[in-house]
Structure 1
């Protein structure tokens, strides 16, 4: 939460006095929370938000944990929250927040308990990270007499573990995704037999009450639970992998076209999950052959899931679910609130815009906004759109009902999120997150809660912060009456600003050196990075270490409807300036994406598979843009116009005009050609301003106005306080301003804004009310202002050449994704176009990003490669842990390892750092500079041939006039 900008501080959507102890009503006063003394054991935006909310509630004695990875490993990465919390006695240092394995996690839990007890804290706040869903940790806190501000250990066990949550959902009539949730039981049966469970318990000295178990499944679960408590393994990852391989073969054979998802039960946020490809994606003479090939990788995928969560230690619960992966799914979730007795919901959120299981853009789903959208669609005659919106409303109502039923069944006594996948008119419960979500503000900006005195309907208080709700429930629990929700705004949207490159791959290690202040209407949660030095008002640098998570900030906006919400978000992204050393973020991606929806249909219903094809389409734009020689193109446009001019004097005059306008016209084009995400956004919102017929580009809107809008789109409006590099140059601004003023006056004279009508009028004789001399001057001015504007056609030409507009929204709000954008090879190729790999010598392999290097799958396992190993293209070489995710890096080509340049696992590496010396099987032949220039000129000539032949002649004729 930024605390520098005055408009932000005064924003009533964020800051308010939350001290209930100051209320007039004794009933309201009784819910005062100032006796709470929380220790905050999370990091990132939620830690800063919790600190702010606690202050506003009058809770002034909180403390925070600070990991050494936040402050020691990386220079300048010191927690920015310390700029606000300056009392060193309230900052407690730990090596890491969670620990690397079961033993270290247990040590960390005890360390946290000791810190809390010895420093007078009586409660724990874990936010949405690390151990917020760790039932063992919550139970440890409860036993120590600490108040956990979040769901209790019973709820954590009943809902937080994915296998138990599915069992509960089935028992309560909640629809679930088809799959298998008892892999550990199946592995136990396979190893010992159903009749051998009692012997297994006896042999391992496990105390199990078999008489209390109603069936074999319960017996297996009881034996497993006893083994976890004893800290021993009666089955291991290999046993579970083998059991799931059997189940996978059955499921692959039943649904050979379906992919399946493997999920470790303790995972979240995409971590600990892997996709099993469909049987029919493999070659084979028979279905059985394909199934066998598809299922071969199941054991290794199980191991990857467990390793990523660091739950592969002795005594860890290693259960992994396998369920049908519905590729066309939309990911929606319901905010659930309960106090252990009552349970209610607060609307939904659509989180379908995600990649690698990481959410990118999240938008509210409310009854109020859907009903208004239905009315708007029906009034516009959009029958298919209205029907889909009506279906969405029905699904929302069903999900909210089931969310409340499930929350009550697991005795939810805090916040939880009921996560579903929506497939057509069906929905399936996926999991419940027993914590506050990263995107919780999307909900709290739409709804607040009002608590009413059961004995006096006029005695109430309202809460607008979900963090505050968590504290209230933790402090007063079942005394809190069931609240009613009230509407704050119809719609809200959140963009997660992450440290990722143009292809949305994690990019650690950059330094933020400057960040513009929030504008009015922007809500920015950035953990205090944007705070300026309170003494000098200078921005303080921040190193994006990447030890934990790629998220830098959460940007939110609200509106009366989804369109206005997205328009406000587009404006926030347009003016945000974020600069630094080796810094890569998804700021431009979000700007392009938001404008894609604004240009196509803001009510579009993307699925979770939308982003990668969209990125591939953007990559194709970049590839085509790279093939264009803008300087050569403008030179040819000018030469064609000059050649078509009449006498020498006219040619000279036109040449001077075109030279003066060169930077005005080409500078924004250079920026768009260099920044494909911005180009995608520009094309999307301008697609109705041009037409391409027979390969020729024509304009439906005045190119001069489009040029002015383009400077605005690029945040290059003229401003005295801006550096010249960030805005239109003053002499270009003078020309453009004069041109816009001219067309404003001409439109007023002719009584029309329609560009086609204006062009037709200028091509003829003077209309009534304008003398011939004045009209001739207007024609000449028009010719001068339009001269060279044909170069703008290079942008729609690129869109046409790449079929960019084939990725579109259908009438029923589904999105048409062209088949080529789903091809794996093209997707990989375009990712490399968006982010070319570091330039390497032919005898080395470089790190694609910063992170932590691992040579093998897990401790104790053999390395992927050693000196002398021959590797094939696509073969795993190493693992890099970056932004909390394990990424297996495959060889880009085949060769032999000559030398390994990283000595130890866990070594921090930088982007572009040499990792291996190699001898490639084939030498790469590089294209010469002359060959590149010739290729680009040939591509540019294709564009020039797409310009209407009459364009140059018309410009020349009007110039002579």
Structure 2
């Protein structure tokens, strides 16, 4: 059944009467925003959210801007919001949002401003895309007499640029990460190493600089260089080459490797965000307390090519672009926390924190609220339970949160914050470092909306107030009534909130574009789904419309949120949401089961755990090991082996043997169907093992059930969302005959437990009683024998489930755990780079290829060289080494260098002069001659290996 449009109207985060103009209070009515006429120049969930909030605020005249990628290049991904906004006069188009070069960016800014003026819009809202924190864009809007719904250009310059923000933080006493924030100035000074040479450069290039600054002899050379560079950006010229910048970055990195032995270094573009424009170098330097000079030089030599990657990724490699980047110490064991800020240029208020540590490729995956009220509640619960170490760890978090909130407000006031922004930090146990400020609303802003709302009170009458629950609404209010808005009071709303980013990624979390969504189940009660309108049905037919995940922008499909009384409650509800979600299509890959497995991992250990930003890759490596071991098992063969075992065991009594055989035949699909699903999806297996880890124990190589395996089997069907649902397709649920058998068995044991006065979890006691020859519980001998026979029939073959637990034992799955102090122990071997790469291939095997070809590992945009004008990575006739970059694949705006899987020689380049060409997964790029001959593995050998491994496993359960 297609989802109803009413869902969006019933969304608890965006539905309420926001029309302040209808209020009884004259003071409240004065803050009406119905006169605001905004043009929405962003895409994704935030565009639909803005449309919904504006309508509820009574803003009737708003429009949206589509790019060609929205509406022309990818017609099957046509912006689904258009199913709501059907007035063509309010839909506008540009080739793209920000342009590929500086010239195009300037042209695009002019086009957007002209569209706004020509169509009666007085303001522009840019959501959480890059344009939302482009100070040049904002300044142009202001100069054109329009409002920008977001921080003003002055705030954007002071806080949005990472180098300026870091200097501001230092000035107001905020702790910052050690590093260098003026590498472009250093590069210019290295090229013109005296004051006289710098002044001569100004004259030679005709730069418009401040005469007072040039005359100030007390200025350092680097400060003078910074001023000259700003003038060069205005003129649109470069004063040094990217190669010269790369050389200076290499020198600076070498100095930092010497100053901070055993550490890696992070390069970060000043205009990056969302994981883009960042690279880490120095993997070989980790844990080296006294690296040699040769090792330092080799590690630093990575820098120049990474500088190009960073600048290309944020489109700052053009002539006249600001190419500054931060060179920072990479704090390894960190959590990523951020504080939501709101201000009007005079006051600034912090709205609690969000823990965003669960991330990969510098992009967040799961975000959870962190509030003073929530931490205080957890501290009280820990103390009551006698968990002293846990309480102390939470008290540390509370102290850090209070400090971050205080310092973030101080920073916000220092930069004149006049809208919504985010103060981002890295937390290292009992310390924290300011990282950057995102001068825009964040993707995860709804997590904050779940835990706090804002109460604006009339200074002259405390009984006169209005409540704001939406940050998008607050930004509109600030755009129209900035100076008049009094400082609000933040009010607790729900106890906790959590958000999972549903992305188009494969099992290894690598971006996967090109799939088609054909069906999406309806949200369950309490689910908050921001899916940019994909679930809006066809307004004419009421049917779900297919949607192509084109990958033109990023990998995000939707945001799934839940709320709860506390974090445990919100996680439990998120698990239910993920379990209940059915998302199907063609060539469609998502991280849905990753989230489901991960959430259950935390639920089984401790939802208050403190994972660091290094958590996900080792976790994926662990999941890869599960998959590697699962691939060795043959469930059907194992089931047949169990049948043979019991046939032999009861062979002395043909009638019993026959009954056992028939019983096992009836139970075959009941046992094997869910097992095959779990073995096929390691993320589901990870979650299942996590929640069942206390149900069995292994002693002396043998499994012992601590709970009735039939109860676990019932819970397994529920975990897989395969529980019986009348009218559901048979392929999605337990089969009817299996359901009847399982329910009959469960009723049998329920009745026995009542007779013996036992609880559900007391299976060992029940099993012991049923094993006694003398009748128990007042039964006569004949009835007792019937009960024992039924018990044998219901339990026989359930041993098969134990194979799953043996996988956990073989892979040391439970060594990845949460300690008393809430820190996560990651076994050292899971951080091995070679193992991580190998397990990624286990999770997503490389596309099948001929021995004399190199193919693309996925779909995306193909580039043969690192940057325009540079030579290709390899040419015909050239030899390449294993691990050497062969080409770049851009997927979801991330630039990925594809390394050679083996050594060889390029015989022919199959894609010539095709930079920017779209390629498909498995498409041949080169014809090659490998250095070593490949030998195909005989399928019979693989089958034999699986059976041998399965037989070894069976020894522990039979």
Q: TM-score, normalization: structure 1? A: 0.97
SS in 2 for 1:687: coil
The 5 A counterparts of 1:914-953 are 914-948=924-958
Distance 1:8 1:782 in 2: 51
SS in 2 for 1:43: coil
Distance 2:8 2:649 in 1: 57
Pair 1:829 & 2:838 matched:
yes
2:755/2:777 contact within 8 Å kept: no
Partner of 1:52: 52
Q: Can you give the 5+ residue segments of structure 2 that lack an aligned partner in the other structure?
A: none
SS in 1 for 2:39: strand
Partner of 1:211: 212
Partner of 2:784: 775
Partner of 2:552: 547
Pair 1:713 & 2:719 matched:
yes
Pair 1:78 & 2:78 matched:
yes
2:264/2:286 contact within 8 Å kept: no
Partner of 1:676: 682
Listed one character per residue, the Cα deviations across residues 5-33 of structure 1 (whole Å, up to 9, x for unaligned) are 64663343331111111111010000000
Distance 2:287 2:634 in 1: 42
Listed one character per residue, the Cα deviations across residues 410-457 of structure 1 (whole Å, up to 9, x for unaligned) are 000000100000001000000000000000000011100000001111
2:209/2:227 contact within 8 Å kept: yes
2:909/2:927 contact within 8 Å kept: yes
SS in 2 for 1:462: strand
1:282/1:290 contact within 8 Å kept: no
Partner of 1:955: none
Partner of 1:353: 358
Aligned residues: 947
Partner of 2:745: 739
Listed one character per residue, the Cα deviations across residues 609-648 of structure 1 (whole Å, up to 9, x for unaligned) are 0000000000000000000011111111121112111311
Pair 1:691 & 2:697 matched:
yes
Partner of 1:202: 203
C-alpha distance 836-732 of structure 1, shift in aligned 2 (>3 A): same
**Displacement of 1:716:** 0.5
1:871/1:894 contact within 8 Å kept: yes
Pair 1:407 & 2:412 matched:
yes
The 5 A counterparts of 1:795-814 are 795-814=804-823
Partner of 1:12: 12
Partner of 1:559: 564
Partner of 2:824: 815
2:163/2:182 contact within 8 Å kept: yes
Partner of 1:951: none
Distance 2:610 2:142 in 1: 43
The 5 A counterparts of 1:411-810 are 411-645=416-650, 646-753=652-759, 754-764=762-772, 765-810=774-819
2:708/2:763 contact within 8 Å kept: yes
SS in 2 for 1:193: coil
1:847/1:913 contact within 8 Å kept: yes
2:13/2:470 contact within 8 Å kept: no
Pair 1:169 & 2:172 matched:
no
Q: TM-score, normalization: structure 2? A: 0.97
Partner of 1:322: 327
**Displacement of 1:544:** 0.4
Q: Can you give the 5+ residue segments of structure 1 that lack an aligned partner in the other structure?
A: 949-961
Partner of 1:253: 258
2:5/2:537 contact within 8 Å kept: no
Distance 1:547 1:8 in 2: 25
Pair 1:860 & 2:869 matched:
yes
Listed one character per residue, the Cα deviations across residues 92-112 of structure 1 (whole Å, up to 9, x for unaligned) are 111111111111111100010
C-alpha distance 386-62 of structure 1, shift in aligned 2 (>3 A): same
RMSD of Structure 2 on Structure 1 (CA): 1.5
C-alpha distance 466-3 of structure 1, shift in aligned 2 (>3 A): farther
Distance 1:281 1:868 in 2: 37
Distance 1:909 1:283 in 2: 41
Distance 2:60 2:867 in 1: 44
**Displacement of 1:278:** 5.0
**Displacement of 1:286:** 6.1
C-alpha distance 509-210 of structure 1, shift in aligned 2 (>3 A): same
1:257/1:278 contact within 8 Å kept: no
Distance 1:389 1:454 in 2: 37
2:262/2:288 contact within 8 Å kept: no
2:261/2:291 contact within 8 Å kept: no
Q: Which moved further from structure 2: 227-236 or 208-217?
A: 208-217
C-alpha distance 739-14 of structure 1, shift in aligned 2 (>3 A): farther
Which of 910, 917, 929 is equivalent to 2:920?
910
Query: Which aligned segments of 4 or more residues in structure 1 are displaced greater than 4 angstroms?
Result: 5-8, 281-286
Q: Which moved further from structure 2: 494-503 or 927-936?
A: 927-936
Pair 1:893 & 2:898 matched:
no
